[in-house]
Structure 1
């Protein structure tokens, strides 16, 4: 583990904290024990003084035993019992006090506490019954409880930081354009949120990469036609008609370049639309100009209402729908009409062989098209543009007529 890593710092911090807590408890336990012993010996000395005063006055009477018992002390006066206790190998002498006429010995045997009173005429032992032997256990329990909480916090933090290892590997692979990975963490902490945000960013970058690839393929495909026409025109005589056709080719190339720039910006960066109200006829005319199709190929039967759209981008979507409508119509014509708030594109053609959603995939090829046609690319771009305008594209086939409906 590297010394400059977060895990090393956390482990070192918790280890030092553990040592400090343990040392603190040892010190506090020792101070507590010394204080308990001091109070214990002080109390035992007071009881012993009272016992000796009463003993000198009336001897070892039953009343003295009862009085001593009130202070939770019992008197051991049997010589054999005293000898057995004193001769026990486990008996410990904790403290000794020399008084004027007698000597006190504070003894401990198996957590039992005694006071030995010895004079030239008397030897008696008082047992302290009030000593709470659970104090040590309470201190140990408190220490173990704090240690358990401490350990729980440590493991929790380590567990929270565990996804960092996965995130580190993901970031390393991310540089190699590996955008596909799964986030297994379901936590709601900051690191998990960071991983989910990173996954979302990776997904977006993957989408941008795919969009750029589609954009390049689309650009190559769309530029091929005007370039081919331009090459053909260069071999023809330089007449006024051919010169006009050449100008149209360059106009088409310029329009395509501007269109591609707009599409690339829309698909890759989620460009903010500049929505305004425009007449539908103006949008249709702009789309027809971009497509460079003839007026005979587009039959207009719509109400000239207003739409709140981005003029340039929405014109591209209309252009793609017109292009597909003309390209795959049996009579090479498309009709535009309005039905309420819906904009409908109709052409005479066979019914789609697949669900409409399938044609939203780039370069999807249906059964009714030639091998050099990219049927799905126009709808792929159109779908993104309509989504950006919060619109939808629907499809139906009635009586040999394909109907693409923008709602």
Structure 2
């Protein structure tokens, strides 16, 4: 997820924007529809006034229809249609109220006014894109269709919402188009980190991402030049050192003093070991691909490491490693790493024994001895030694760690009941 943090952030912003706009338009739609319904519902007052006067005066039905026609209202007489409207129509608004009517009356005592309170109920319905008013009174009921009013239309609002939605979505597409070079650049950087040293970051783009890519290309060229110079220097150095070491070794054999002969032999042997370790480190650090990697039986690699370490097999115990277990490695480098672990264990263990065991699918090297005085990180630095008197340049664990990193593994350490345990994890 972290690899796509920018893309996820942009996508999150898009979703938040669209949800926010949708919520705003939805609330606006409900409010606008409610206002529209409340506005057209006010027409019920005209209808009830006409209908009430019709009832009071007991005027003919044709007079009622004529008065309603003035406002483009039509009485629904068909019982079938009336039943459909009342049963299947959508109720838009319903309201019950009382109507007060004042009439001038005459009796034996003279003229007087009479107030009549009538309970009414007005219901506005929508049926097949038509607006109907259903008026109910204690004395009767009537269903009237309004030929002027139309149901609420959301098309204009939908058009506005769709336009904004498309603008936001199009903006997101434009942002993605701008991010595509960044995604390609990230992939190229990953390939470069995996060892594809000749990959090019150069681009014709002139925006900020293009500027970064071109600067990376310049940096890549500088790094490649430095690495090439370093590799050439180390190889020439080791080549030049091997000749005097070989001559010195031969000259040492001509010395008459055994003490001097042993001293010089030890010095030249240590120098030869140092040159070989430098050569191995240079090979590991310059490993730019895995073309030399293949599948090997782990037991075969361990056997090769024991032979390379030139130790008695009685000093090495192998437990719980099945013969079918295979690893995808560079044989020579991985064998060297295991050889260094065997050398290190026998050199520093109290009983000169090492146990190689598979635990939780991890290769472990166990030996008895004192716990490390410093954290493991201290020992995997080059030229670090816990005991300066030992015949070592302190490159053993550093070389092991470098080889494991080339194999996408790490070196770990733990101490348990007098047992040092190094783990290839």
Length-normalised TM-score, structure 2:
0.41
Larger % of strand: which? 2
